[in-house]
Structures are given as C-alpha cells and as structure tokens.
Amino acid sequence: MRASRLMSILLLLQNRGRLTAEQLAAHFEVSVRTIYRDIDQLSAAEVPVYADRGPGGGFQLLDGYRTKLTGLSPAEAETLFIAGLPGPAAEMGLADALATAQLKLTAALPESARVNARRLSARFHLDPVDWFRSAASARLLPAIATAVWGETSIDVRYQRANSDTAVARRLEPLGLVLKAGTWYVVAAVGESVRTYRVANILELSATSERFTRPKDFDLVRFWTASSRAYEIGLYRGTAELRVSKRGMARLETLGATVLQAAQDSAQPEKSGGWTRVTIPIESIDHAAFDMLKLGSDAEVLKPTALRRRVAKTARDVAQLNG
C-alpha cells in the first residue's frame, strides 16, 4: 500500500505542481506525519522533491523532472479517460487502482494534451444504470473478480430466476460483464459456458483449484452471440394489435425487438390514425402485462386468449380500484 501511495504522490506532484503536506494528507486520508515520512522515502530514492517553507509553500518536483510512462499516445490516453467507470471499479474493489491508473495516464501526456484529457473527463460521464433503477447488488463481485483474474474455481449457491429453489454449482469464471447496471459472470460449468447474474449468487466460497482458460474463448464474442440468442429465444409467439400513434411510440418501452417488428409490419388504417402491427410475445401472461402498459392506445386482435386475458385483467383492476 505504501509503495502505491509513494507512486501516487510522485504523480500528483508531477501533474499538479506544488502541494502542501496537508493537501496530500487529505487526499490519501493519512496523517501529515505520514506524508513527511513518504517525502523522505522519495528523497532517499533520489526523486528530486523539495519543500518550500512558509506561507504558500509545499512540496514540488525539480523543474523538468518527469516519470516515464511509454506505450500510450496522447489520443489513446485521452480516450481511456472517457472509458473510466468509477462506480463499477469500486464494486470490484478497484477504486484505488483506477485512481492511480488515471494519474499515470495524466503523467503520460504533454501539458497541452493533459488539459484536453481533463476537459474530456469533466464533460463526459457514463452512467450504466437505467432510469428509475438502482444498481444490482454486487457484494460478491470482488471475490468473483479475484477468481476471474487468478483462474481459480468458485463454489456458489445460485438462486434461479423466477424460482424459490437454489442450486449448488462449481464455476470456472471466465469473465465479468456489466449490462445496464447489472453484473453477470460468464463461467464454464462442465463442458458448457453459461451466464449467471451476480446478484442471484447467494453464497460463494473460493477454492484453490485452478482451471485452464480456453485459449480461443472471446468474452465479447460470446456475450454478443449469447445475449442475442437469449433475446430471440424469449419470444415464442406473436400478437396482432391495433395501436394509435401514441401507442406506436410506446411500443419502444417493450424493447427494441418489439418496436422493430411493429415498424416492419405496420399497416396504417385509412382513417382514425391507427395502425395494425404484429409483434413477438413471450407468453400470454407476460404479453397481457405488456399490453396493459399501453393502456387505451392498443387493442389486441389476436390471439383470442391474449385479448381475453387483457380484458379480464382490466376488469379485475377496475373492480379492485372501483
């Protein structure tokens, strides 16, 4: 931890110029005495740091002294500032590592590009969680991340979706994915590779058993293919609707796949501003819930079972709230 702090102090002095012991102590949440010891340690390592006494004084590096960080162009380093995700990094226990990495990136830039990098990070922010939602629980994420990095197996007790039962599994975690504020672990189980929602892992025990990561496994390619197959596999039927102009716009709330299908099948009626569309549905129960979201801006034409279910549910709601 101290070695990391020494490097961070060096990078801060390089990037920001003169800083007081009090400012450094507040930044690292340590005592001023600790900062003085750290400065002595840097001096002993022949880092040219010196102190100005009196009001306006502080520590700074000898003019022209810079650490070396090669391999990144200014444009590459600036881009990585936009990619920084402090929330997810903190969930994985990497907040300090991310802060240090950004300091190193700043140190890699010439002064003109350094200003641009700061402007980028001040003007662009990525919030991966959808509106009116909170990030899913990720209390076990650091342990999973450690297993992914160390290529060690984990024993978990997993709560299946829409079920009261939990199953025990030994996983070989191959990667972590953050999707709309929810973390997933992609893991090998026997001969297959599956996806598990981190928030549904009730218990986790780390093991010392190492596994060999498949050389040809590509996390991005796997996630893209499996998530697309998951979306397509959800839909087991279709429904024909009449939707108003506002209802057509509201179909977006049911997902991009549904909206695209509606747009592709749209047949405007000659009068009234309504349109007939065909959309994919998961099941009668799920589709009935979705139709109620559209309110009076959608009429179910087919299947009859869905039309009846929507009507019955609407009557029950009206009676309950009458």
- Give start-end residues of each CATH 1.10.10.10 domain in the chain: 2-61
Q: How confident is the model at residue 103 (pLDDT cuts 50, 70, 90)?
A: low
Q: How confident is the model at residue 15 (pLDDT cuts 50, 70, 90)?
A: confident
- Quick: pLDDT tens for 44-84: 777 788 887 766 678 888 776 665 544 445 555 555 554 55
Q: What are phi and psi of 68, to 5 degrees?
A: -105, 125
- Quick: pLDDT tens for 210-267: 999 988 899 989 998 888 887 777 788 999 999 999 999 999 888 888 999 999 999 9
- Give start-end residues of each CATH 3.30.70 domain in the chain: 235-320
- Give start-end residues of each CATH 2.30.30 domain in the chain: 141-226
pTM of the model: 0.55
The pair of structure tokens assigned to 21 is 């012991």
CA distances from 26 to 5, 34, 75, 242, 259 (A): 13, 11, 31, 62, 52
Assess if CATH 3.40.640 describes domain 235-320: no
Task: Quote the mean pLDDT of the chain.
Answer: 80
Q: Which residues neighbour 105 within 8 Å (Cβ) at sequence distance 6 or greater?
A: 69, 72, 77, 80, 81, 117
Q: CA end-to-end span of the chain, whole Å?
A: 64
Q: What are phi and psi of 190, to 5 degrees?
A: 65, -125
Strand 298-302 relative to strand 237-243, pairing: antiparallel
Average pLDDT estimate for 281-296:
90
CATH topology for the 141-226 domain: SH3 type barrels. (2.30.30)
Return d(Cα 243, Cα 274) in angstroms, integer. Answer: 6
CATH code for residues 2-61:
1.10.10.10
Q: How confident is the model at residue 288 (pLDDT cuts 50, 70, 90)?
A: very high
